[in-house]
Amino acid sequence: MGLISRLSPAALRIIALLAVLAIVVIFFAVQIEGYLNGRLFNRISSSVAIMALIATGQTLVILTRNIDLSVGSMVGFAAFATGSIITNNPDLNPLLLVLYAAVVGTAFGMVNGALVAYARVPSIIVTLATMALYRSFLVEYSDAKSITTSGLPAWLTDFPNMPVFSIGAMEFRAGFTASLAVVIIVHLCLTRLRPARALFAVGSNPEAAEMAGIDAKRVVFAAFALSGLMAGLAGFMFLARFGTITVVAGLGFELKSVASSVVGGVNIFGGSGSVIGAFLGAILVDLLETSLVRWAVVSEFWREAVLGALILAAVATDTILSRRLTRLRATKKGDAK
Amino acid sequence: MKHVLLGAAAAMMLTTANFAYADTIKLEPGKETNMVLLPKFLGILVFDQANEGAQEAHKELGNPGKLEFTGPTPENSTAGQIEIMTTAGTQKQGAVMLSNNAGDQIVPAAEAAQAAGTKVVTWDSPIPGGKGESVFVAQVDFGSIGTVMADMALNILGGKGKMAVLSATPDASNQNAWIESMKTALAADPKYKDIELVDVVYGDDQAEVSYNRALALVDKYPDLGLIMSPTTVGIQASAKAMQDEGLCDKVKVSGLGLPSEMASYTMNGCAPEFALWDFRDLGYLTYFTSYGLATGQLKGEIGETFTAGRMGDYTIEADPGREGAKRILMGPFTVYNKDNVEAAAK
């Protein structure tokens, strides 16, 4: 009985999300023959590895009451730039290559951050503009060439699918494991580190945060820079997984990352949420998408609509569940007194 | 008597007119007209190849006017195409060469451009309803694409098995026409009777969506033998997905692809056969057509035959796939396999 009262609202939120995930899995397992197996786990985990990073960056930005619509373009540019470097210098050290992707992303993120934090332009305007700008840079930079798998070294294309360890038929592949590690590190920082807590402070009440001596501008700037960093790393993963990069790489990721964060319980008005939530949100969106393709009941033309409805339903169920759990916790606490 | 004379005169005019059409029109070079080559969006290799072909024709015809290669960015394709079409009309461009990605939404802008004297020549992907379009330069006969894909399926599956289609977007008019023509081809000849088309899915011409769809197909149909993808993005992503998951022995990939992107998958057996046409030639022929129309040397009427430089003679004909629309048929296909893919990839 004491368990539920000891859990924080954030933890309850995660439990509610896991419950929704379980419901979805059970539903499709009943509907689709041969659905529930290790392969499903491998599919979802390999695919979510990229979105998990982007959603993590997006969450950091949303926490500060902002939004980053340029993530898709940053992913695309970083993937292409990284691919271009390694194609021309096949012997480049892997760590340097990852670093290059990170630097490219961070540089773009810093431009966003400077414009939002110091030039005081609303983030939706800034990133809507840089979304188009970065994509245009990519079109210029690519010169209509594509990066192709044949130009990439084997270690790079093998990396995402390399099994690190497995439980039964469930493989934890290197791409997914690396992403998961990044998510956990960011989560630990957000919950334990004082400077990282400033993101929540700025998001829930910027004036109060300023009065408490927090440099709100610097925090917002840092959030965008980190979102760029995550997009850069995601670009690296994108390159490794898909091999062929054209100018459409990462198109539409901005909305998917916002959806993942919001489904994952990150408050769109800032101040509350967790990257673990966003991670689970990304899994839920991906799971719904993959399962719907296999579900014969829904035709191709309705799938987008059904996906939208299911995301809404998932958010609603999750909100209701976590509210119930919170209330239950309050009553349990009352009993204990 | 008068009537007889008139009738005779009319008959003579008809005959001479017929003679005029039967004569091959040699386009007179050196006339000035400004033209715009408008791809679906910028940054894609095949569209740049089309531009190279158009530039080649531009030089060859010695047009003192300008040939502009301009297009929208990928995230803004539909709106961007409509905007560029509108601008071209107000700038009184001689012709716009359009690979349409805006469906029939482009019609008002195209009609306005036509009214302002700008010819609209489509290539690669036409305006579905044919309105606002002078003529469509078809890369290959849309009907024959179906037969080519059906034959590749027959070859790869060894005459028997299950196949699924991975297309681009559900509203891409060229894709849908090709899938329909493949269904027709499969139904028409008993030699295809053991090939079953189980599903059609859409990868939105994006690597990650196509990749995931290809894997979902394999999960949905455990005994699937072939993924047929009539799009360069889809075929490449499917081949990569099958290779990554070690499924190439079971599930083969085919469709329309670029040799430079597909060579490694053809050599390792994931995609033993695929087809495509030459985009440079397509750009070259489109330029000749548009130049002829913009300078008034071609009227754009059915039956007109003209010489398109190094490529030879072409005739404007009724488009069998779109009622009331006109087309010029380029053709043919090149089918790539491990014997010729590496040479073509260079």
For chain B, which residues make up each domain, given as ranges? 18-140+279-335, 145-276
Q: Which residue of A has its CA nearest to B220?
A: A294
The CATH-assigned architecture of domain B18-140+279-335 is 3-Layer(aba) Sandwich (3.40)
Please report the pLDDT score of residue A335 as a whole number: 61
The per-residue pLDDT for range A101-147, each reduced to its tens digit, is 999 999 999 999 999 999 999 999 999 999 999 999 999 998 888 88
Do B18-140+279-335 and B145-276 share a fold?
Answer: yes
Spell out the residues 6+ positions from residue A193 whose beta carbon is closer than 8 angstroms to its own: none
B1 by DSSP, 3-state: which?
Answer: coil
Q: Taking CB atoms and an 8 Å limit, are B206 and A248 in contact across chains?
A: yes
> Which own/partner contact pairs does B314-318 have at CB distance under 8 Å and 24+ positions apart?
B314/B285, B314/B289, B316/B135
**H-run or E-run covering B68:** strand B67-69
Please report the pLDDT score of residue A39 as a whole number: 87
B40 and chain A in contact, CB less than 8 A: no
Please report the pLDDT score of residue A334 as a whole number: 63
Which residue range forms the structural domain that includes residue A31? 9-325
B205 and chain A in contact, CB less than 8 A: yes
Please report the pLDDT score of residue B1 as a whole number: 44
- CA nearest A245: which of A253, A235, A254? A235
Best B49, B52, B69, B73 residue to mutate vs chain A (most A CBs within 10 Å) = B73
**pLDDT band, residue A168 (cuts 50/70/90):** confident
**H-run or E-run covering B283:** helix B279-294
Q: The pTM is what?
A: 0.84
- CA nearest A97: which of A56, A156, A157? A156
Measured between beta carbons, the chain B residues lying within 8 angstroms of A251 are 74-75, 206
Please report the pLDDT score of residue B114 as a whole number: 95
Give the whole-angstrom CA distance, residue A275 versus residue A62. Answer: 11
Give the whole-angstrom CA distance, residue B276 versus residue B278. Answer: 7
The more confidently predicted of residues A36 and A280 is A280
Please report the pLDDT score of residue B23 as a whole number: 79
**pLDDT band, residue A267 (cuts 50/70/90):** confident
- CA nearest A322: which of A32, A12, A29, A11? A12
Asked if the structure places residue A280 within a domain, the reply is yes
B42 and chain A in contact, CB less than 8 A: yes
Asked if the structure places residue A71 within a domain, the reply is yes
Q: Report the CATH number at residue A197.
A: 1.10.3470
- CA nearest A336: which of A10, A8, A7, A5? A5
Residue A273: φ, ψ to 5°: 140, 170
Please report the pLDDT score of residue B20 as a whole number: 46
How many domains does one find in chain A? Answer: 1
ipTM above 0.90, yes or no: no
Nearest neighbour of B219 by CB, restricted to A39, A146, A160: A39
Contact (CB, 8 A) for B149 and B182: yes
Residue type, B36: V
Asked if the structure places residue A301 within a domain, the reply is yes
Q: Which residue of B has its CA nearest to A36?
A: B219
Flag residues of chain B having pLDDT under 70: 1-22
- Find the DSSP H helices in A64-205: 71-88, 94-113, 123-142, 154-158, 174-192, 194-204
Please report the pLDDT score of residue B3 as a whole number: 54
B29 by DSSP, 3-state: which?
Answer: coil
Q: Say whether pLDDT at A241 is over 90.
A: yes
Nearest neighbour of A244 by CB, restricted to B170, B202, B236: B236
Asked if the structure places residue A122 within a domain, the reply is yes
Nearest neighbour of A294 by CB, restricted to B206, B207, B220: B220
Please report the pLDDT score of residue B18 as a whole number: 44
End-to-end CA distance of chain A: 13
Angle value at C-alpha A56, between A106 and A201, nearest 5 degrees: 90
* pLDDT > 70 in chain A, percent: 97
Say whether domain B145-276 belongs to CATH 3.40.50.2300.
yes
Determine which of A106-110, A166-170, A321-325 has the lowest per-residue pLDDT on average.
Answer: A321-325
Give the whole-angstrom CA distance, residue B296 versus residue B158. Answer: 52
Asked if the structure places residue A2 within a domain, the reply is no
The per-residue pLDDT for range A44-58, each reduced to its tens digit, is 999 999 999 999 999
Alpha-carbon gap: A40 to the closest alpha carbon of chain B (Å) = 9
- Parallel/antiparallel/unpaired status of strands B195-202 and B161-167: parallel
Best B40, B83, B205, B212 residue to mutate vs chain A (most A CBs within 10 Å) = B212
- CA nearest A134: which of A105, A101, A97? A105
Best A45, A53, A150, A173 residue to mutate vs chain B (most B CBs within 10 Å) = A150
Nearest neighbour of A132 by CB, restricted to B73, B205, B222: B73
User: Could you tell me the two tokens for B173?
Assistant: 């008019």
